[in-house]
Amino acid sequence: MLSKKNQLEANKLQKRLRRNVGNAIADYNMIEQGDRVMVCLSGGKDSYGMLEILMNLQRSAPIDFELVAVNLDQKQPGFPTEVLPKYLDALDIEYHILEKDTYSIVASKVPEDKTFCGLCSRLRRGTLYGFAQKIGATKLALGHHRDDIVETLFLNMFYQGKLKAMPPKLLADDKKNMVIRPLAYCKESDLQALAELREYPIIPCNLCGSQDGLQRQVVKDMLQSWERQYPGRIDTIFNAVKNISPSQLADTDLFNFVDLNLQRDTIDKSNTVEKNIPLLSL
């Protein structure tokens, strides 16, 4: 049982997470009247937290929407198949466990010195997109949080030479699926604290977790080092993702630099005449 002090902190944590998720949903119009939201559960702390917060918001939201929990069993060795069904049965929520052996595909296709994440995520995404259409889901909710978004920003800059991250809301390339990230405003540390408070039955990823030197982990360590030295640094970077000035960058597709022209309709000569300064000397 939590002490009075710990209970107070827990209440603050829950309110902060709920507020952040609510603000993100409102800012990006993530969930609308009548939506059927497919909540993608990995068995990690973030997706557990996302499901809990969305269920909480559903009870008090001014609109009606459905939640459907979906987990993709990728047939990783040692995956505890009983954990999620047991947890979801206790929540009394509609859920589906999909089975697809993407593990064998990834393990056979990716060289030993390369990371699995890229191919793994593509295979997982394709399966989930198809299932969302099958069950009539209008939105797919993924558990990426603020730190994931900032890390992706730097991964793309450092390794791809691109200035992009993870958008809070995304229309898939097939135009048939809408991805939302309700945790976009949430700190990973808050989600970790919630997971410890709730004692979620965490299922580790044996694919990614079995590899050393992941680029994302390198970036995460860098950002955490900055955060320790300059508290609030990650928040500032995330705010920059929301506050872009195309004219101050260099992408000719986003801003028309070629046709920039001076807009001097007339030249004011009054000051130069009074001071006897020749115009050519300006």
Host H or E run for residue 77: none
Q: Is 263 a domain residue? A: no
- pLDDT score of 270 more than 70: no
**Is pLDDT at 46 greater than 80 in this prediction?**
yes
Among 8-22, 109-123, 159-173, which is the least confidently predicted range?
A: 109-123
The whole-chain average pLDDT of the chain stands at 86
By C-alpha distance, which of 98, 220, 95 is closest to 154?
220
Within-domain flag for 220: yes
Note the pLDDT of residue 282. 47
Lowest model confidence (mean pLDDT) among 125-134, 186-195, 205-214:
205-214
Quote the pLDDT of residue 100: 76
Please report whether residue 277 resides in a domain. no
Condensed to tens digits (0 to 9), the pLDDT of residues 123-178 reads 778 789 999 999 999 999 999 999 999 999 999 999 999 999 999 999 998 899 99
Q: What integer pLDDT is reported at residue 184 of this predicted model?
A: 98
Average pLDDT, stretch 11-20?
Answer: 95
Q: Identify the pLDDT of residue 256.
A: 96
- Confidence (pLDDT) at 152: 94
**Interval 208-230 mean pLDDT:** 81
The reply to whether 273 falls in a domain is no
Does residue 279 lie within any of the structural domains? no
Q: Write out the two tokens for 29.
A: 């119009």
Q: Does 278 reside within a domain? A: no
CATH number of the domain enclosing 13: 3.40.50.620
User: How distant, in Å, are the alpha carbons of 28, 185, 194, 266 from that of 57?
Assistant: 16, 15, 16, 58
Residue 102 DSSP symbol: H
Which range marks the domain in which residue 239 is found?
A: 4-248
Residue 66 belongs to a domain: yes
Please list, in sequence order, all residues whose beta carbon lies within 8 angstroms of the beta carbon of residue 115, skipping any fewer than 6 positions away. 208, 211, 214, 215
> 282 lies in a domain?
no
Lowest mean pLDDT among 28-42, 172-186, 201-215: 201-215
DSSP SS3 for 27: helix
Report yes or no: 72 and 100 within 8 Å, Cβ to Cβ: yes
Average pLDDT for residues 210-227, to the nearest whole number?
82
What domain count does the chain have?
A: 1
Inform me whether the pLDDT recorded for 210 exceeds 70. no
